[in-house]
Amino acid sequence: MPRVLERAEGCWAWVVLLASLVTQGLTLGFPTCTGIFFTELQHEFQASNSETSWFPSILTAMLHAGGPLCSILVGRFGCRVTVMLGGALASLGMVTSSFCRTLSQLYLTAGFITGLGMCFSFQSSITVLGFYFSHHRALANALASVGVSLGITLWPLLSRYLLEDLGWRGTFLVFGGVFLHCCVCGAVLRPVATSTAPEATEGPPPPSKTPAPSCLAACGRAIQRHLAFDILRHNAGYRVYTLGVMWMILGFPLPHVFLVPYAMWHGVDEHRAALLISIIGFSNIFLRPMAGLVAGRRDFAGHRKYLFSLAALLNGLTNLVCAASADFRVLVGYCLVYSVSMSGIGALLFQVLMDIVPMDRFSSALGLFTILESISILISPPLAGLLLDTTDNNFSYVFYMSSFFLISAALFMGGSFCALQKKERPGKQAKAEGAITEAASEQVLTAEGSCDSKKRLYTEVMYVTSV
């Protein structure tokens, strides 16, 4: 029996948008609550700050690094199956982690398996929006990103509540059931009709006379298709942006992991400390869509990379305020200002990449970008934990470290983009002058010599120069 395909931009598209919003809240919002379990896990396993920090770093790194594998699964099985597979994996990882006896087992279950499952669900739910929406795609992405802010708001509150009643093992067991909702969201993603018609086949294709490619050659083509190393070599803008973001990520996720332990270390109540992360999430509910709409305006098309550098600079300077005082009122103000820069970074991160890389190579450029980004995510929290161990749990140094990476990355990207723009400007001018000369010569060859023709030639030359 043939499958019934849904129509793009139809009524069911908004149901799919709601499913994507919930999936993003369940997956992307979850890593921000791991800081609430930091002290509990540290006492349970008698581990150092550096050893405990590997759990959130592996979880978040897998959430980004599994992108190329996710795209292969989507191409083979579709978005619906991939989202449901991700929900099952995330649930399996959290359930098995509640029985862990060592930190190494926790790294494998709650870190690797859960992170990979969340990656499958999150990235597939984003991909399906591109099939269901064409005219309202920007609006759909902006609305779906609200799910991340809702997740950042609700996950810490739920974690604090369950941790008091059930302990961390019981909480992780409940989280395993919560992640099964990704399977429900995946079941909603019905196949959608596309504009491309299926190819008609009259029979089996004739055997090819050319020899089949070797396994090594096939792997090489697959790597080139999903990881754009050639763009990294030849595109200077992509190279600058990738290196700058890798350096920035060494400091960006640290407040999400260490803000709650930092506040509790300075005597802030556990509930109020967990509320700080929720304040960041609640603020992003309104700030993230606004930042996305502003970043999508054509007026800022040529300046988005500088706005991204400015947002990273503001984020780094904000962390200095947090390091200066641990008073609860100061921390609330810090969270509000931090939310502004965080929403700017979130809205511009992939938009700038689209401006730098041709859209026909964006998928492979994004695959390499997320893998390199995940390396920094993997290193950052353990590096900060090592710094805590060597400074007798002085959390201020963690925020100084975060500020250093963010500010230096912002200055590097801003300065490099300025230098590249100045370097490209003479080439663009020469190309424009060549186009003007070529257009003028063509007009001279076809002109009839009349006065009216000369006026038209002058007008057309002025039009080309103004463009």
Q: How do residues 263-309 score in pLDDT, each as one tens digit?
A: 888 888 888 888 888 898 888 888 887 887 777 777 777 788 899 99
Same domain for 160 and 278, yes or no, is: no
| 246 falls within a domain | yes
- Given a contact cutoff of 8 angstroms between Cβ atoms, the answer to whether 380 and 399 are in contact is no
| 396 falls within a domain | yes
- Residues of the chain with pLDDT > 70, as a percent, come to 80
Same domain for 154 and 21, yes or no, is: yes
Kindly report the number of other CB atoms within 10 A of residue 420's CB atom. Answer: 15
Region of 392 on the Ramachandran plot (φ > 0 left; ψ -120 to 50 alpha; else beta): left
Q: Give pTM, 2 decimals.
A: 0.74
Per-residue pLDDT at 464: 33
Same domain for 16 and 157, yes or no, is: yes
Q: State the number of CA atoms in the 13 A half-sphere of 427 facing the CB.
A: 5
Q: Where are the alpha helices (DSSP H) in 189-327?
A: 215-226, 229-234, 236-249, 254-265, 270-295, 304-324
Same domain for 138 and 233, yes or no, is: no
Measured CA to CA, the distance from residue 177 to residue 120 in angstroms comes to 17
Same domain for 428 and 326, yes or no, is: yes
Question: Could you give the number of structural domains in the chain?
Answer: 2
Same domain for 233 and 186, yes or no, is: no
Per-residue pLDDT at 467: 40
Domain residue limits at 330: 228-445
Q: Which residues of the chain have pLDDT under 70?
A: 1-9, 136-138, 193-226, 359, 363, 426-467
Same domain for 283 and 139, yes or no, is: no
Same domain for 72 and 151, yes or no, is: yes
Query: Token pair of 266, please?
Result: 């300075």
